[in-house]
């Protein structure tokens, strides 16, 4: 059994998709459709920068999705490897959950791009710049991270945002609280705390205004039936009903990304192989969570060609 998985924010970089667009009509079609949906030349920004524009949340989120779906379309149309035939389920890290839902037909490409543009803008607007922060805790498990966050909060918000793998947990909240947590890591047996270069404190209760906006947008965006089940970030459980998944996307804005648990749930359900589309971010997390699983990352044409040959 195989899962196709999709990366989240932080996997963007200038030049993403450039090679695919230059050589593949299927990839160009994806990028052109996203440009048209958003009324901006996002693919040009992805290919040439500037980096500070691409890194903005409202651009990075649809860009990462577009790249993942372009990789998938090339795999399907030009190499004949179909998602529905090769995978038994999908999952995505944070915004990658939207990429996964697009891949299985819950939302079409244009709708997914517009939802992610709104999600990025809403998350950025939820907290004034400079008032929030996130930090990666290296060598931390959930329990030690939870204790650290509670000790550092001191009346402010400091919460677990991402449970990525057995060696990395991310916290999010008010900047002062997160900075206190970074300074207290040794007291909680955590190897290192590192502030992340993000513009907002994602996946914590400070994101409630963004969750409200996404609830309204998703209420007016009924999803279609999904071709494959998705493992949801906030429950780390298999979801087959598109309406249930739509509600979970709202919870996801303020909720914890339970990626480690999602990987373990997929493994428990028989998944032995994980294929990351459009990045090399969540694949390594999978490898650290379940070293016995087979992990493949597909980014370049050479990656796609090799995968297609192996799965002909």
Sign of the dihedral through C-alpha 239, 249, 208, 214: negative
Residue 138 belongs to what H/E stretch? strand 132-138
| pTM, two decimal places | 0.96
Reply yes or no on whether 203 is catalytic.
yes
Q: State the average pLDDT over residues 67-81.
A: 95
Buried b (16+ CB within 10 A) or exposed e, 228-261: bbbbbbbbbeebeebeebbbbbbbbbbbbbbbbb
**Which residue in 11, 43, 94, 199 is the catalytic one?**
94
- 200-224: pLDDT as tens digits: 899 999 999 999 999 999 999 999 9
End-to-end C-alpha distance for the chain, whole angstroms: 16
Rounded CA-CA distance 186/199 in Å is 26
Active site residue 273: no
Of the listed 67, 174, 188, 203, which one is catalytic? 203
Asked whether the predicted pLDDT for residue 293 surpasses 80, the reply is: yes
CATH of region 2-126+206-310, choose from 3.30.160.110, 3.40.366.10, 3.40.50.300, 3.40.640.10 = 3.40.366.10
Chain length of the chain: 312
Q: Are strands 132-138 and 192-195 parallel, antiparallel or unpaired?
A: antiparallel
pLDDT value for 10? 80
Does residue 312 surpass a pLDDT of 80? no
The string over 191-206, giving b where at least 16 C-beta atoms fall within 10 Å of a residue's C-beta and e elsewhere, is eebeebebbbbbbbeb
**In the numeric block, which tokens belong to residue 281?**
């971010």
Please report, for the chain, the start and end positions of each structural domain, with discontinuous segments joined by +: 2-126+206-310, 132-198
Compute the average pLDDT of residues 263-277. Answer: 97
Superfamily of domain 132-198: Malonyl-CoA ACP transacylase, ACP-binding (3.30.70.250)
Mean pLDDT of 266-284: 96
The dihedral of CA 76, 223, 7, 41: what is its sign? positive
The band of 129, judged by pLDDT with boundaries at 50, 70 and 90, is: confident
pLDDT(12) > 90: no
Question: What pLDDT, on a 0 to 100 scale, did the predictor assign at position 198?
Answer: 83
């Amino acid at each position: 059994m195989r899962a196709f998985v999709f990366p989240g924010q932080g996997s963007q970089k200038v030049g993403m998709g450039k090679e695919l667009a230059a050589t593949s009509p299927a990839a160009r079609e994806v990028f052109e459709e996203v440009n048209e949906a958003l009324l901006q030349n996002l693919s040009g920004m992805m290919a040439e920068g500037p980096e500070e524009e691409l890194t903005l949340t409202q651009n990075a989120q649809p860009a990462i999705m577009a790249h993942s779906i372009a990789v998938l379309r090339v795999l399907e149309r030009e190499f004949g490897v179909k998602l529905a035939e090769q995978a038994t389920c999908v999952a995505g890290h944070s915004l990658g959950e939207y990429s996964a839902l697009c891949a299985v037909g819950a939302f079409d490409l244009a709708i997914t791009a517009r939802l992610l543009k709104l999600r990025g803008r809403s998350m950025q607007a939820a907290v004034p710049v400079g008032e929030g922060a996130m930090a990666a805790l290296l060598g931390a498990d959930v329990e030690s991270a939870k204790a650290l966050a509670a000790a550092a909060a001191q009346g402010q918000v400091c919460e677990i945002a991402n449970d990525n793998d057995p060696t990395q947990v991310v916290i999010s909240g008010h900047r002062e609280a997160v900075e206190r947590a970074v300074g207290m890591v040794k007291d909680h047996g955590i190897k290192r705390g590192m502030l992340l270069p993000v513009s907002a404190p994602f996946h914590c209760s400070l994101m409630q205004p963004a969750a409200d906006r996404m609830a309204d947008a998703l209420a007016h965006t009924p999803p279609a039936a999904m071709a494959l089940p998705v493992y949801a970030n906030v429950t780390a459980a298999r979801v087959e009903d598109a309406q249930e998944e739509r509600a979970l996307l709202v919870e996801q804005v303020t909720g914890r990304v339970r990626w480690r648990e999602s990987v373990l749930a997929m493994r428990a359900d028989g998944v032995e192989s994980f294929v990351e589309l459009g990045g090399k971010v969540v694949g390594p997390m999978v490898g650290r969570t379940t070293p016995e699983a087979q992990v493949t990352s597909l980014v370049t044409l050479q990656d796609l060609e090799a995968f297609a040959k192996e799965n002909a």
